[in-house]
A and B are shown apart, each in its own frame.
Chain A
């Protein structure tokens, strides 16, 4: 795939998205386009709506207004109901990989089965071929030797790497990371970041919600600061993290980065 194509084709389009939980409006007209092969980081204080936005892309949160498209196909379909929508959204979700803060690995399945369950059951992949694919993915996240171990025997960092391999098994068009390293002990963060950097090198389209400012700055093509359900500022990560235009962004970064920045 040429770089030209990468920059030109939108993979995820978020248009004028609104979401409220009861009286609380958490998303107030968000727009964002993620082009193919690009990495966008979303930062912001807790309660800013960044996780809700990410979860809306996968329809884990149902938006009240607006449009979300994946590779040109509309994700939210208020016109569709019941089984028809269920089929539609299952199909859409097979093309998106989601990584959660608390890993959510399936504890009753071995590591390899966690990775291969979806391709086997959803794509009807042969068990032997699925195992080969699973081993390849576990190898990619550096955990091939843990294939037949159960999640409870893994460290947090290892669990999250397996979760990434599980999400990759369906060959998604985009990967969504919802604070993937926030629940980890500091010394385990780097091994997960390393895997995510590997994906970046392979030009995986990624939408990353994170508190890891250094990582966001290094890895992303575009950075977005959200607060109070709106996009306060978006620009290149170099600019956002060193010379943001908005006072709110500066205040947030000052709190998060300390005095040395």
Chain B
């Protein structure tokens, strides 16, 4: 078999477009899942016992079912009643999925901040809420960085799953190019390399962040 990367070059702008869509999805999902995960964790630990159970159920539900099924459920299932654009469904599905995983991390790291920190803050005159905001959450966040980084690397790879519901990210974009060029192997090699490079940069970024915050733990 001979390799012919000509079609890959021809359709590279299409791949770049897919990369752009994937990037957009990843950025929004990262923001949504980290902020949302933190909010879910804080509510389920501190705010309200009655609200905490549905939230824990939500975490459990999203962690025990496959992402693809969740996307199908949101897109085709809910599609029976409301029509949501595929990219929105993709962002929501991926966002909730990783929100659950991130909340799980935050719950562990918030609980790992010692009671002495809470007492020291209260003894200065900070209230319960201010203590959570200024003392507990920032420390928990710093402790969460390694695991959050791992989750975000997984999430970036999982943006490829959105091709199943027709979000025009990298894999989906290549499928069109493959269907007209009949060169799947070359395209998949290039895509794999692209993901690999993105991952290397993310891992470098994560390591840098961990180094930058290590002394604050």
Give chain A's interface residues, CB within 8 Å of chain B: 58, 60, 86-87, 90-91, 93-94, 96-98, 100, 102, 104-109, 117-118, 121-122, 150, 152-153, 163, 166-167, 170
Contact = CB atoms under 8 A, between A and B. Distances in A.
Contact of A166 (B114, B124, B216, B217): B124
A96 B127 contact: no
Contacts of A108: 138-139, 142, 216-217
Contact of A91 (B121, B125, B135): B125
B123 A90 contact: no
B217 A90 contact: no
Given A60-B119, A100-B119, A107-B217, A93 B124 contact: yes
A96 B217 contact: no
A122 B126 contact: yes
B120 A104 contact: yes
**What 9 A-B pairs have minimum CB-CB distances, sorted nearest first?**
A94-B125, A104-B120, A98-B123, A104-B116, A118-B124, A93-B125, A108-B216, A108-B138, A90-B125
Interface of B: 114, 116-117, 119-128, 130, 134-135, 138-139, 142, 215-217
Contact of B123 (A58, A109, A150, A153): A58
Most buried by B among A96, A97, A117: A117
Contacts, number: 70
Contacts of A118: 124-126
A150 B213 CA distance: 11
Given A60-B122, A93-B124, A94-B124, A106 B139 contact: yes
A110 to B, nearest CB: 9
23 contacts: A58-B123, A60-B119, A60-B122, A86-B128, A90-B125, A90-B127, A93-B124, A93-B125, A94-B125, A98-B124, A104-B120, A106-B121, A106-B135, A107-B139, A118-B126, A121-B130, A121-B134, A122-B124, A150-B215, A150-B216, A163-B120, A167-B123, A167-B124
A58 to B, nearest CB: 6
A96 B125 CA distance: 9
Contact of B127 (A86, A153, A166): A86
Contacts of A150: 215-216
Given A108-B142, A121-B130, A121-B134, A100 B124 contact: no
A164 B210 CA distance: 30
Given A94-B125, A98-B124, A100-B119, 4 more contacts: A58-B123, A100-B116, A117-B134, A166-B124
A104 B117 contact: yes
